[in-house]
Amino acid sequence: MIEVDQLVKRFGAVTAVDGLSFTVRPGHVTGFLGPNGAGKTTTMRVILGLDAPTSGTARVNQKSYPELIRPLHQVGALLDASALHPGRTATAHLASIAQSNGIGRGRVAEMLRLTGLEAVANRRLKGFSLGMKQRLGIAVALLGDPPVLMFDEPVNGLDTEGIAWIRQFMRALAADGRTVLVSSHLMSEMAQTADRLIVIGRGRLIADTTTAQLIESSTRKDVLVRSPRAAELADLIKARGATVKPEEDGGLAVTGLDAPAVGDLAAEHGIAVHALIPRSASLEEAYLDLTGESTDFRAASS
Partner 1 sequence: MTAPVPLAAPVPLAVRARDVLTSEWTKLRSVRSTYWTLLVAVVTPIGISALVAVTLAHAPGKQPSVDPLLPGLISQEYAVLAVGVLGVLAFSTEYGTGLIRTTFAAVPRRRAVLAAKAAVIGALTLVAGEVVAFASFALVQAVLSGKHLSVSLSHPGVPGAVLADGLLLFVVATMGVGLGAIVRHTAGGIAALVGLIFLPAILGVLPAPWGARVGRFTLLDAVRQVTALHPATDLFAPALSLLVLLAWPALTLLAAALLITRRDA
Which strands sit side by side in the sheet containing 55-60, from one edge to the other? 14-24, 2-11, 55-60, 63-64
**Taking CB under 8 A as the rule, does residue 178 contact partner 1?**
yes
Segment near partner 1 (CB under 8 A), from 175-183, 184-192, 225-233, 268-276?
175-183
CB-CB contact of 239 with 287 (8 Å): no
**Taking CB under 8 A as the rule, does residue 108 contact partner 1?**
no
Q: Which of 15, 23, 61, 156 binds partner 1 (CB under 8 A)?
A: 61
**Taking CB under 8 A as the rule, does residue 88 contact partner 1?**
yes
**Taking CB under 8 A as the rule, does residue 113 contact partner 1?**
no
* Shortest Å, Cβ 75 to partner 1: 8
Nearer to partner 1, 85 or 220 (CB): 85
Separation between Cα atoms, residue 211 and residue 192, nearest integer Å = 9
Nearer to partner 1, 124 or 238 (CB): 124
Window 190 to 249, contacts with partner 1 (CB under 8 A): none
* Shortest Å, Cβ 151 to partner 1: 13
CB-CB contact of 74 with 146 (8 Å): yes
* Shortest Å, Cβ 145 to partner 1: 8
Nearer to partner 1, 81 or 187 (CB): 81
Site string for partner 1, 17-46 (x = CB under 8 A): ---------x------------------x-
Burial class (CB in 10 A: 0-12, 13-18, 19+), 270: exposed
**Taking CB under 8 A as the rule, does residue 101 contact partner 1?**
yes
Nearer to partner 1, 88 or 202 (CB): 88
* Shortest Å, Cβ 82 to partner 1: 7
Q: Which of 10, 59, 68, 285 binds partner 1 (CB under 8 A)?
A: 68
Q: Which residues here bind partner 1, judged by CB under 8 A?
A: 26, 45, 48-52, 61-63, 65-75, 77, 79-80, 82-89, 92-93, 95-97, 99-102, 140, 145-147, 176-178
